[in-house]
Amino acid sequence: MSHTASLHNIPTPGGVDSDRRTWLLATTAMGAAAAGAVAVPFVSSFSPSERAKAQGASVEVDISGLAPGEMTTVEWRGKPVWILRRTPEMLADLKDMPDLADPESKKDQQPEYARNTERSIKPEYLVTVGICTHLGCSPVTLPEGTANTSVPADWKGGFFCPCHGSTFDLAGRVFKNKPAPTNLEVPPHKYVADTRLLIGEDDSAAA
């Protein structure tokens, strides 16, 4: 949920002259703008969730309405979690992706079921924390054919961190020679039904 302050709703304190009122309005506006600027690099959007979910409780998500190629964002432990439904073409591109730092996810940073090319339980769905493993900024999606000059001309689609330039493929695997030291985090999760996902728990242990 976003909150927008309206300057028209700020009451004028009794006895405050016009110059001071102008100063109050200006500083309020600058404060609101600064708060927005700080928030943008970290979180673009969250699906609504209860306070308890943000504090650590598991989050159940219905992904039945997610079309191939679409991605949704939910909140878990105060973090954005991306759920991407990949197309057959996206999955095919993952198999021969060159220049990855850890293509098989061998580094000890994610659940055992993420140690594969797709980094997922079901290849069709990527579930990953949308926070760069470098300094915590939130990457943006860049589709294949983007005009962004920060990625190579043969870019197959993936994620780009605008803060320091790290790039990740559609499995969240980081490319070589980038500031991010590891692939994007895969949170503990499991399927409680074909199209219902529980983020925060898996079959080995609760998060």
DSSP conformation letters of 19-72:
HHHHHHHHHHHHHHHHHHHHHTTT-S------HHHHTT--EEEE-TT--TT-EE
Residue 8 lies in a domain: no
Catalytic residue among 3, 8, 164, 189: 164
Residue with tokens 């943006």: 140
Q: What is the C-alpha separation between 2 and 39, in angstroms, rounded?
A: 11
- Give pLDDT tens digits for 139-183: 999 999 999 999 999 999 999 999 999 999 999 999 999 999 999
State pLDDT tens for residues 66-77. Answer: 999 999 999 999
Closest listed residue to residue 180, CA positions, set 156, 158, 201:
158
Res 51: pLDDT: 57
Look up 8 and say whether it is catalytic.
no
Query: Residue 138 is part of which domain span?
Result: 51-199
32 plus 82 within the same structural domain? no
What's the sign of the alpha-carbon dihedral 60, 135, 146, 153? negative
Split into its structural domains, the chain has a count of: 2
In this structure, are 175 and 98 located in the same domain? yes
- Stated pTM of the model: 0.72
Do 35 and 113 fall into the same domain?
Answer: no
